[in-house]
Amino acid sequence: MTYNEIRKLFLNYFESRGHTIVPSASLIPNDPSLLFTVAGMVPWKGMLQGVEPLKYGPRVADVQKCIRAGGKHNDLEDVGFDSRHHTFFEMLGNWSFGDYFKQGAIEMSWDLLTNVLKLDPNRIIVTTHISDDESTEIWKKLTGKDAIRLDKDNWWAAGDTGPCGPCTEIFWDFGPTVPGGLPGAPDEAGRYVEIWNNVFMQYDRDANGNLTPLPNQNVDTGAGLERWAAVLQGVTDNYDTDLFVNLMKAVEELTGTKKTLENTPSFKIITDHLRSVGFAIADGVIPSNSDRGYVIRRILRRAMRHGQILGHRGALLSKLYPALVREMGEAYPELISEEKRVIEIIQNEENSFADMLQNGMKLLEIELPKLNSKTLPGDIAFKLFDTYGFPLDLTQMILRDRGIEVDVNGFEKCMSEQKERSRADTKGTRTLWESRNDLDFTDDSAKYDLSETNSKVLAILKDGEFVESAKSGDEVEVLLDKTQFYGTQGGQVGDSGEFKGIMHVNETNRIGCLIIHKGVLISSLHVWDDVIPSVNRQIRTQTARAHTAAHLLQAALRIVLNDDVEQRGSKVSPDSVRFDFSFGRAMTADEIAKTEKIINEWIASDLPVKTEEMTMDEAKARGAMALFSEKYGDTVRVITAGDISCELCGGTHVTHTGEIKAAKINKEKSISSGIRRITMSVGDLA
């Protein structure tokens, strides 16, 4: 059975048993603790824990795309050198939210494997938890055989506390020609491969380790599609299944190199990494130097390096992407709809990597003949990183082929020294304020209505030191107990203004929960003095115009370009907008003109701009857009402009779009691979 046939059979089976079939969720999880969707349960976590309402009923089945290549879930270094590791994989899953439990889940698993797929029951081994007599008895009645009872391998938990419970795992026996003992044995290896796991969430564990039965007992299952394909196609290596065989043929055609025993790791790495890069970018991940973007950049560059090992020069994954679409586009239509954008982003990244590699290799070729040992000094590795953008792992990979190691401790010492220099550059602002554990927070609840406050001075920072007082003419930073000044946040610059008769405030910054006023004193000031903060209302109005205009710009871009345009950063200043967004190519002059025209039409329509507070679930139901890198609380602030824009935002805004007056796009350019920047004037400046 092919991959496409297995997916359809699995979903059809569970649909016939009352399950709602749901498409795969995005690889970008709604979970700030994860870089990627690493397992089939991630999209259902809130429902399994009972903190989110059921969206699709009590029974659900899906095939979830997953990536494990960053953070604590990282299989990257193992890919290519064994038969079963992948950075990208597909997880078959069926879910019960308070509906069927152990009996139903186990019976359906056994029925599908033995009666529908016709797998030999004698080659199926099951394990249960040592405490789970119920599951053990169910398996005994179904199979006539005893389950292997294990401890930690058969217990699932979301963390140290919270929902948890036993699981039962199903293994396939590849036969005596493959080495390895039974599950749980000291010589456990490759003979028995786990092909299905049924997790039974039946307890809530408290901080003391006490288990309390949950009111709703849930079933969370996962079955690796790549492993199923190997079993059903009679091979022991996932990379010998139809999907990978076809992708490897495409690699052979592109590189002109035939797959051999020696170069098989490179073929595995390229085909695996093609899936991770292609799917991640199609879901909106842009290669970058941070977070999930860095993981995808690293995977892409690792694939390119192995293309070079095969003797290939030039574009690699961008040329192979159409082969991925042929193999998986039927199951995942986003690969087809995003094909042009994905290829453009990969091409940009490949070109950038080629330039970086060329420049960095020149330095290596100069330094390597100078070595007195088989170790590259850490300062040279750091120079490659700092000057040419070479990540440490890339330098290690290149030198590994030559039998040379890298002085990692020396590299890390250089990195620490650079961080210390950076910290010294910022001394007197963020670092010092963050060191004040005695300062709690600033009450800035008046920042939206600008109601006048009488405030008390809590701290004064002058010349890098906290002081009890300062005199006229001193440049200082001042913390108040309460203020109506808006501190720089969410891309919006902070307010300017004055403390009446005391200080000219030139800028206002938010550092954690503290609002810091920076400026020049016009009279003396002491800690615990009373002051009256007064915001420059003209500048505030200009900034509010620009912020609302930024929301209109994003809405217009999604109309003119596509719905997948996402904000990647912004700076909102008085009557000026800088807006960064994900897009794989330069906008045409016509697209820029059309975007500007739409914004000005909305301004002329004088649409109402409303501000509401609601729960995150209510905001999601409203369709509010959010900046993926931001963290939000339980209650969020939603800004709507007519029916054309709805966003989560903590900034200041106008009450009607007509107050913006006009908008003028000044420039559109690239700032990194797959990221564009628009600068725009509004109001009188436009």
532-580: per-residue pLDDT in tens? 999 999 999 999 999 999 999 999 999 999 776 888 889 999 989 999 9
| Cβ atoms of 596 and 663 closer than 8 Å | yes
357 domain residue, yes or no: no
Q: Is residue 679 part of a domain?
A: yes
CATH code at 109?
3.30.930.10
For residues 222 and 79, what is the distance between their CA atoms, to the nearest angstrom? 21
Whether 180 and 312 share a structural domain? no
Are 86 and 243 spatial neighbours (Cβ–Cβ below 8 Å)? no
Confidence of residue 465 (pLDDT cuts 50, 70, 90): confident
pLDDT in tens, 467-478: 999 999 999 999
In a domain, 363, yes or no: no
- Which single residue is written with the structure tokens 């390895």? 180
- The answer to whether residues 35 and 134 belong to one domain is yes
Tell me the sheet residues that pair with 158.
Answer: none
For residue 434, name the pLDDT band (cuts at 50, 70, 90): confident
Residues 229 and 266 in one domain: no
In percent, how much of the chain has pLDDT > 90?
60
Question: Is there a domain that residue 362 lies in?
Answer: no
The single residue listed with the structure tokens 């022991």 is 236
With 80 as the cut, is the pLDDT of residue 420 above it?
Answer: no
Q: Taking Cα atoms as reference points, which of 235, 326, 234, 231 lies closest to residue 274?
A: 326
The domain total for the chain is 5
Give the pLDDT score at 422: 57
C-alpha 227/C-alpha 223 separation (Å) is: 8
pLDDT score, position 628 = 47
pLDDT at 77 over 80: no
Query: Which of 379, 406, 425 corresponds to the end of one domain?
Result: 425
Quickly state the pLDDT bin for 629 (edges 50, 70, 90). Answer: very low
Flag whether pLDDT at 626 surpasses 60: yes
Instruction: Judge if 520 and 550 occupy the same domain.
Output: no
Domain limits for position 278? 241-351
Q: Helices 225-232 and 3-15, interaxial angle, to 10°?
A: 110
Contact 491, 571 (CB under 8 A): yes
Sign of CA dihedral 277, 278, 280, 286: positive
pLDDT single digits (tens) 302-344: 899 899 889 998 899 999 999 999 999 999 999 999 999 899 8
Please say whether the beta carbons of 611 and 564 come within 8 A: no
Contact between 517 and 505 (Cβ < 8 Å):
yes
Any idea which of 120-129, 135-144, 257-266, 444-453 has the lowest mean pLDDT?
444-453
Task: Give tens-digit pLDDT for 168-208.
Answer: 999 999 999 888 888 888 777 789 999 999 999 988 888 78
Predicted pLDDT of residue 549: 96
> Rounded to an integer, what distance in angstroms lies between the CA atom of residue 146 and that of residue 126?
8
Query: Are residues 614 and 671 part of one domain?
Result: yes
Phi-psi region for residue 57, left (φ > 0), alpha (ψ -120 to 50) or beta? left
The one-character DSSP state at 3 is H
Residue 633 confidence (pLDDT): 66
pTM, to two decimals: 0.65
The partner residues of 192 in beta bridges, in order of sequence, read 173
pLDDT of residue 426: 47
Predicted local distance difference test score (pLDDT) of residue 657: 96
Query: Is there a domain that residue 360 lies in?
Result: no
Both 558 and 611 in one domain: the answer is yes
Q: Grade residue 424 by pLDDT with cuts at 50, 70 and 90.
A: low
The alpha carbon torsion through 450, 452, 455, 460 (nearest 10 deg) reads 50
pLDDT at residue 391, as a whole number: 75
Better-predicted residue by pLDDT, 526 or 211: 526
| Whether residue 258 is found in the same domain as residue 397 | no
Does some domain include residue 297? yes
Which three-class secondary structure state does DSSP give residue 225? helix
Please choose, from the candidates 573, 592, 574, the residue with its C-alpha nearest in 3D space to the C-alpha of residue 669: 592
> Per the domain annotation, does 520 fall within a domain?
yes
**CA-wise closest residue to 164 among 99, 223, 210:** 210
Q: Is the pLDDT of residue 408 over 60?
A: yes
CA atoms within 13 A on the CB side of 369: 5
Q: Which residues of 194-226 are buried (b: 16+ CB within 10 A; e: fewer)?
A: bbbbbbbbbbbbeeeeeeeebebbbbbbbbbbb
Q: What is the dihedral of CA 292, 296, 301, 306, to 10 degrees?
A: 130
Among 57, 119, 104, 65, CA closest to 87: 65
Q: How many CB atoms lie within 10 A of CB 189?
A: 11
Supply the DSSP string of 184-222, one letter for each residue.
TSTTB-SSEEEEEEEEEEEEEE-TT--EEEEEEEEEEEE
Helices (H) and strands (E) in the chain, counts: 18, 30
Q: Is 51 part of a structural domain of the chain?
A: yes
Q: State whether 52 and 90 are in the same domain.
A: yes
In sequence order, the β-bridge partners of residue 198 are: 168, 221
From the list 234, 230, 253, the residue with the least C-alpha distance to 326 is: 253
- Cβ 164 vs Cβ 197: under 8 Å: no
Share above pLDDT 70 across residues of the chain, in percent, rounded to a whole number: 96
CB atoms closer than 10 angstroms to residue 549: 30
Does residue 585 sit in the same domain as residue 463? no
Least confident of 119-133, 203-217, 500-514: 203-217
Q: What is the pLDDT of residue 672?
A: 74
Region 63-73: mean pLDDT is: 84
Q: Looking at 535, 552, 568, which one is the last position of a domain?
A: 535
- Decide which of 141 and 386 is more confident: 141
> Contact at 8 Å (CB) between 395 and 376?
yes
Is it the case that residue 150 has pLDDT exceeding 80? yes
pLDDT at 612: 92
Q: Which residues contact 167 (CB under 8 A, 6 or more apart)?
A: 129, 154, 155, 156, 197, 198, 199, 200
Largest CA distance in the chain: 90
Higher pLDDT, 76 or 408: 408
**Confidence bin at 24 (pLDDT 50/70/90):** very high
Task: Return the closest-CA partner of residue 674 out of 544, 533, 521, 568.
Answer: 568
CA distance 95 to 100: 9
Say if CB 528 and CB 491 are below 8 A apart.
no
CATH number, residue 558? 3.30.980.10
Instruction: Give the three-state DSSP class for 70.
Output: strand
pLDDT of residue 146: 93
Contacts of 595 by beta carbon, 8 Å cutoff, 6+ apart: 553, 556, 557, 560, 587, 665
Closest CA to 86 of 114, 65, 62: 65
Q: Which of 351, 386, 405 is the last residue of a domain?
A: 351
Q: Which tokens sit at 671?
A: 């700032």
3-class DSSP state for residue 650?
coil
Paired tokens of 26: 């995005």
Q: What are phi and psi of 32, to 5 degrees?
A: -65, -15
156 and 29 share one domain: yes
Q: Are residues 335 and 285 in the same domain?
A: yes
pLDDT at 593 over 50: yes
Looking at the structure, tell me whether residues 85 and 163 fall in a common domain: yes
Contact predicate 472/522, CB 8 Å: yes
Share the mean pLDDT of the chain: 89
